[in-house]
Amino acid sequence: MTPLSPRSARAARDVVVVGGGIVGLAVAWRAARRGLSVTVCERGGLPSYVAAAHVAAGMLAPVAEADAQERPLLRLGLDSAARWPAFAAELEEASGLSVGYRDCGTLVVARDRDEAEHVDREIRLREALGVPVARLLPSAARCVEPALAPTIRAAFHAPDDHAVDPRAVCEALLVACERVDVELRPGCEVRAVTGGGVTLASGEHVTAGRTVVAAGAWAARIAGLPGLCVRPVKGQVLRLAARAGEGPLLEHVVRWDGGYLVPRGDGRVVLGATMEDRGYDTNVTALGVYELLRDAGELVPGVLELDLECALAGLRPATPDNAPLLGEWEGVVLACGHHRNGVLLTPATADRIAALLAGEDPHIDPAFAPSRFTPVGAPR
Ligand code: GLY
């Protein structure tokens, strides 16, 4: 008897998710918990070492990163930040693994007069937006976070901006997905989306009722999605660690114009991140490392005493207005373009996209409709 080919052996799925990064896995987990059969196709490994979350520091900072021009994004960020504690607790229960959620707050600091004026404007902007921040004198900021340099000029505290360990979240999502029978397919590059599923680089067709594109910066490379306006923005980071026996350098996330330090709570710290338009290049450069250490060392001198574990670069999936693409577009469902906010926006994205897949109203703000760039029905 002729053996069944892989293609005919596989039953059609309710959903195929393209991309096994933090957003794709969270969408898959939430959709499977609603009873949908889900397959995740990931071009790299699982966990994915090419996904942005592998590099991301894990700031959950809608307030520290707020921009006056991006109010819908601020609302979505605040909504997602409010979902994080329950999302983390459910995920830890579902997987039995810690996700490193830390209720630590964020300090935004300035190193010179220009930056202090900028911090002043940032405080007034947040007050106008009605989000809680507390202005701190430099001496008070140093009481809160003694590792700060005596030379800092201004600071504010965003008490509700926290952090999580994105790698731990992805590990937990993989286990949680397996426990609700999500089919995980690492090493599975999607060449094209078609009506009714995806075609892999191997030529195999994965048949599914709905296709979710959560492929980060690689979404624009998939055939069948012409005009998808996602581009990679490179970010270099350093992973640093305190020596054994030494206490953690920082308790809070520390943010400044152009960078941040995110402590993990166990002595490890992530220092990020550059913003570079360099296509799909993920090389670490001497200049990137120099600038990160120069700025961080000026604000938190103890950083320069830490051990350097590694330097790496990832690709943020950016859109022209820095807001994500969420919802139906050209026969697929998009959950991509999260740019600097992928980790923060994971719970809000996963809950909305899972609701959409289950046939419910996902309550997605029109500001995130993919059709804002390519109106449905317009010639491409
Ligand atoms: N969310 C921080 C970054 O993208 O660098």
Specify the pTM. 0.94
Residues 153 and 119 in one domain: yes
Locate the ligand 1 atom nearest the alpha carbon of residue 344 and give its number.
1
Closest CA to 364 of 332, 323, 330: 323
Report yes or no on 336 lying in a domain: yes
What's the CA-to-centroid distance between 371 and ligand 1, angstroms?
25
Dump pLDDT digits (tens) for 86-145: 999 999 999 999 999 999 999 999 999 999 998 898 898 888 888 889 999 999 999 999
Residue among 162, 316, 322 to mutate when testing ligand 1 (max atoms within 8 A of CB): 316
Give the CATH number, domain containing residue 139: 3.30.9.10
Report yes or no on 216 lying in a domain: yes
- Strand duo 259-263 + 253-256: pairing: antiparallel
Residues 307 and 359 in one domain: no
Report the nearest-CA residue for atom 2 of ligand 1: 340
Residue 8 has pLDDT above 90, yes or no: no
Residues 214 and 289 in one domain: no
Report yes or no on 175 lying in a domain: yes
Locate the ligand 1 atom nearest the alpha carbon of residue 316 and give its number.
4
Residues 223 and 236 in one domain: no
CB 62 within 8 A of CB 80: yes
Report the nearest-CA residue for atom 1 of ligand 1: 340
Report yes or no on 105 lying in a domain: no
Question: How would you class 345 by CB atoms within 10 Å of its CB: exposed for 0-12, middle for 13-18, buried for 19 or more?
Answer: buried
State residue 212 phi and psi, 5-degree precision: -110, 125
Residue among 80, 162, 260 to mutate when testing ligand 1 (max atoms within 8 A of CB): 260
Dump pLDDT digits (tens) for 316-362: 999 999 999 999 998 899 999 999 999 999 999 999 999 999 999 99
Report the nearest-CA residue for atom 3 of ligand 1: 340
Give the CATH number, domain containing residue 189: 3.50.50.60
What's the CA-to-centroid distance between 300 and ligand 1, angstroms?
19
Residues 243 and 305 in one domain: yes
What's the CA-to-centroid distance between 357 and ligand 1, angstroms?
28
Residue 203 has pLDDT above 90, yes or no: yes
Closest CA to 55 of 233, 176, 190: 233
Residues 256 and 137 in one domain: yes
DSSP collapsed to 3 states, the chain: CCCCCHHHHCCCEEEEEECCCHHHHHHHHHHHHCCCCEEEECCCCCCCCCCHHHHCCCEECCCCCCCCCCHHHHHHHHHHHHHHHHHHHHHHHHHCCCCCCECCCEEEEECCHHHHHHHHHHHHHHHHHCCCCEEECHHHHHHHCCCCCCCCCEEEEECCCEECCHHHHHHHHHHHHHHCCCEEECCCCEEEEECCEEEECCCCEEEEEEEEECCHHHHHHCECCCCCCCEEEEEEEEEEECCCCCCCCCCCEEEECCEEEEECCCCEEEEECCCECCCCCCCCCHHHHHHHHHHHHHHCHHHHHCEEEEEEEEEEEECCCCCCEEEEECCEEEEECCHHHCCCCHHHHHHHHHHHHCCCCCCCCHHHCHHHCCCCCCCC
Dump pLDDT digits (tens) for 51-67: 999 999 999 999 888 87
Report yes or no on 80 lying in a domain: no
User: How does residue 378 score in pLDDT terms, banded at 50, 70 and 90?
Assistant: very low
Residue found under tokens 């002729």: 2
Rg over alpha carbons for the chain, rounded to the nearest Å, is 21
Which of 273, 301, 318 is the last residue in one of the domains?
A: 318
Ligand 1 cavity residues, CB under 6 Å: 59, 235, 272-273, 316, 340
What's the CA-to-centroid distance between 344 and ligand 1, angstroms?
10
State residue 138 phi and psi, 5-degree precision: -50, -40
What's the CA-to-centroid distance between 340 and ligand 1, angstroms?
4
CA atoms within 13 A on the CB side of 118: 14
Which domain, by its residues, includes 10? Answer: 6-56+167-230+320-372
The pLDDT of residue 7 is 42
Which of 273, 302, 318 is the last residue in one of the domains?
A: 318
Report the nearest-CA residue for atom 4 of ligand 1: 340
CB 344 within 8 A of CB 76: no
Residue 1 has pLDDT above 50, yes or no: no
Residues 137 and 236 in one domain: yes
Average pLDDT, stretch 270-292? 97
The pLDDT of residue 293 is 98
Give how many domains the chain has, as a whole number. Answer: 2
Average pLDDT, stretch 178-184? 98
Report yes or no on 102 lying in a domain: no
Residues 132 and 154 in one domain: yes
Q: CA 114, CA 127: separation in Å to the nearest integer? A: 20
DSSP collapsed to 3 states, 26-92: HHHHHHHHCCCCEEEECCCCCCCCCCHHHHCCCEECCCCCCCCCCHHHHHHHHHHHHHHHHHHHHHH
Question: How would you class 2 by CB atoms within 10 Å of its CB: exposed for 0-12, middle for 13-18, buried for 19 or more?
Answer: exposed
What's the CA-to-centroid distance between 325 and ligand 1, angstroms?
18
* Paired strand residues for 128: none
User: How does residue 162 score in pLDDT terms, banded at 50, 70 and 90?
Assistant: very high
What's the CA-to-centroid distance between 56 and ligand 1, angstroms?
7
What's the CA-to-centroid distance between 253 and ligand 1, angstroms?
13
Residues 206 and 130 in one domain: no
Helix axes of 71-95 and 166-179: crossing angle, nearest 10 degrees:
60
The pLDDT of residue 3 is 39
Report yes or no on 74 lying in a domain: no
User: How does residue 69 score in pLDDT terms, banded at 50, 70 and 90?
Assistant: low
Residues 153 and 237 in one domain: yes
The pLDDT of residue 49 is 85
Residues 254 and 295 in one domain: yes
Report yes or no on 76 lying in a domain: no
Residues 283 and 358 in one domain: no
